[in-house]
Amino acid sequence: MESNLSFLSEFKADAVKLVNSSSRPVTQIARELGVSESALRAWIKKVGNENDGVKPMSMEEQLKLGKRENEEL
């Protein structure tokens, strides 16, 4: 169960990084990730409260996220 929570936390953090490093709208990114826009906005707000901002996702991190998403499909 703990590994599922870790994966979920990592997914959320990666999703927020993707939003912050992309010029695409939150709505589009949420759709691409298969999550609701309201959930993604809540994650963004939570991370913003925990950190004073989020480090932009590197190209390598974006590729890893994309590969992980493809594996899920």
Domain boundaries, the chain: 2-72
Residue 41 has pLDDT above 70, yes or no: yes
Distance CA 66, CA 52 (A): 26
Q: Is 40 exposed, middle or buried (0-12, 13-18, 19+ CB in 10 A)?
A: buried
What pLDDT sits at residue 28?
Answer: 92
What is the pTM assigned to this prediction? 0.60
What pLDDT sits at residue 34?
Answer: 92
How large is the average pLDDT for residues 41-59? 69
Name the more confident of 67 and 28: 28
Residue 54 has pLDDT above 90, yes or no: no
Block residue for tokens 């996220």: 65
